[in-house]
Amino acid sequence: MFNKMLKRFVDFTYMTGRARRIFERNNPDERVLAADASKGIISENNQDIKHSFDWITSQRAVILLTDKKIVCGKWTILLDTISDTQLSTFGSGQVLKIQTKDGTNYQFGMQKNPEWTSQQILPLKLEKGQVKYSFFSIIVRLILFGYIIYWLCNRFISR
């Protein structure tokens, strides 16, 4: 129940339905198979899914899977240029990893959506994913945790 509410909220915030309708109106020869609010990054190698600085500066846009391509913001990936795809699910989210024939690697983080697993155009390797932590992510969490402890000590113990 909460996951569905969260997905609706995120889709509302990104205006996913509107982006889908506009794309369909402007591209009547293409059929949209899946649409989601997403955060996307490009990496030079096929790296593991992890919390990192890349996600802070990631492209935020609606990702659309059509019968010809994947479109996300300023990126367009033709389906015939894709060499490998993987959909990792965890908690209430999923990450779509795409590797193209030219060696570009994309990762798109989004809320779970059955449109991605039910479509038949893009062959997906489905896996139960695990999100790892980068050194940057661990340091930020330690600093934040330390600050909270400091604040709590000053607020309640010093009285």
Q: What domains are defined for the chain?
A: 2-157 (2.30.29.30)
Q: How many Å apart are CA 129 and CA 126, to the nearest integer?
A: 9
CB atoms within 10 A of CB 104: 15
pLDDT at 35: 94
Cβ atoms 43, 105 nearer than 8 A:
yes
In single-letter form, the type of residue at position 77 comes to I
Structure pTM?
0.72
Q: How many Å apart are CA 52 and CA 135, to the nearest integer?
A: 8
pLDDT at 93: 82
Q: How many Å apart are CA 15 and CA 114, to the nearest integer?
A: 19
Cβ atoms 33, 67 nearer than 8 A:
yes
Cβ atoms 59, 40 nearer than 8 A:
yes
Q: How many CA atoms lie within 13 A of 150 on its CB side?
A: 6
Q: How many Å apart are CA 123 and CA 84, to the nearest integer?
A: 8
Tens digit of each residue's pLDDT, the chain (159 residues): 667 787 788 788 889 999 999 999 999 999 999 999 998 888 766 665 555 545 556 678 999 999 999 999 999 999 999 999 989 888 778 889 899 999 898 989 888 888 988 898 988 887 776 655 555 656 666 778 787 888 888 877 765
- Sign of torsion, CA 108 111 115 120? positive
